[in-house]
Amino acid sequence: MSDSLKALQKLLSQINKISIVIHRNPDGDAIGAGLALQSFLQKKGLDVTLISPNEVPAYLKWLPGADQIKIFEQDKEAVKPVLNQSDIIFTLDFNDLTRTGKDLGNYLKQLTDKIFVMIDHHLEPADYALFTFSDSGKSSTSEMVYDFMDNLGGKDLIDKAMATNLYTGIMTDTGSFKFPNTTPHTMCIAAELMKKGINHNEIQIKIYDSFSLDKLHLLGEALHKLVFLPQYKTSYIALSKDDLQKYNYQKGDTEGFVNYGLSLKEADFAVLFLENDDEGVRISFRSKGKFPANEFAKKYFNGGGHLNAAGGRTNATLSEAVQLFLEKLPEFISTLKPIHG
């Protein structure tokens, strides 16, 4: 066991209250990792609250324990005291407090007397945490939480509900074990989780084969709007507020849309622009091979992420955002020529 894990283990035996915070617009990995870690620490006798900045998307509400998650932006005055009373705040699946949104991010930043623990698999971790477990070589934070529990000698505490949460996190962050971030170790953990009695086929169906008709029609519209730029091996889709309203948009409905752009044989880079009520325009980036989607997101759209999957946002209008992207793409690609060709 590493020295820092030993020190954290000792600390966990001396304290009582813990909060776990996940990123804004939480995905399967953030929620799965959060719920599993919460159960694990509860089994160790600790009082643990899981906090999400905003709502759990409909397609993940079935996860065991998801109905108990506290939503900061819906209930600030109730959640702030929970954070104030926590001895330790775990932060999962993000590398910087700004990823929890303006409101929660600013609140966390002024809690300077708290012990923060980061468990995350994004590049460039910020340095707010006393304990930083950061490994961009891991498929998912859920994989890291599994290892965290295993390293603390707690593998036997993993029950079917925890295994379901962890498996969902790993499955969604690896695109059902097909992205390059999937390693032999990822597969070994998936096997261990299956031995806990999970129904992997049901999980797959609940996440990927449970779409509404509205969502499928919105996907049809999105695919119709897809533009391909052969000279840049790039595709993009821009969906306006009107497009979303037309199909009765629910949070999470566009999950996975960006991957269709990348499924085009000739595409190495795919982008999805979403006009949102509360965040201006949100942008998702996906790439194949060595194309650094995260660098593009960071350089032009206040974002970041992984080499092949990144996100960002802008306060510009939808058409301005697309314009900026079209303007910067040639310049960016020219800097890649040596590796991209």
- The stretch near Mn ion (CB under 5 A) out of 47-55, 87-95, 131-139, 143-151 is 87-95
Cβ count near 216 (within 10 Å): 11
Nearer to ligand 5GP, 8 or 321 (CB): 321
Report in angstroms how near the CB of residue 21 gets to ligand 5GP at its nearest.
14
Beta carbon nearer to Mn ion, 181 or 234: 181
Say if residue 205 is exposed, middle or buried (CB neighbours under 10 Å; 0-12, 13-18, 19+): exposed
Residue 99 main-chain phi, psi, to 5 deg: -70, -5
Q: Are 303 and 309 in contact (CB under 8 A)?
A: no
Contact at 8 Å (CB) between 306 and 294? yes
Of 157 and 226, nearer to ligand 5GP (C-beta) is: 226
Binding site for ligand 5GP (CB under 6 A): 99, 122, 284, 303-306, 309-313
Q: Which residue is nearest to ligand 5GP (CB)?
A: 311
Strand pairing of 309-314 and 304-305?
antiparallel
3-state SS class at 123: coil
Distance in Å, CB of 304 to ligand 5GP, minimum: 3
- The number of helix segments (H) and strand segments (E) in the chain equals 13, 12
8 Å CB contact between 271 and 308: no
Which CB, 158 or 171, lies closer to Mn ion? Answer: 171
| Least gap, CB of 28 to ligand 5GP (angstroms) | 10
- Token digits of residue 89: 């705040």
**Which CB atom, from 93 or from 295, has the smaller least distance to Mn ion?**
93
Query: Which of the listed partners (Mn ion, ligand 5GP, none) does 310 bind, with a CB threshold of 5 to 8 Å by partner kind?
Result: ligand 5GP
Distance CA 119, CA 70 (A): 20
- Does the footprint of Mn ion cover residue 93 (CB under 5 A)? yes
Fill in the per-residue mask, 9 to 48: x = in contact with Mn ion (CB under 5 A), - = not in contact.
--------------------x-------------------
With contacts defined by CB under 5 A, how many residues of the chain interact with Mn ion?
Answer: 5
Separation between Cα atoms, residue 52 and residue 65, nearest integer Å: 13
**Residues found near Mn ion in the complex (CB under 5 A):** 29, 93, 140-141, 173
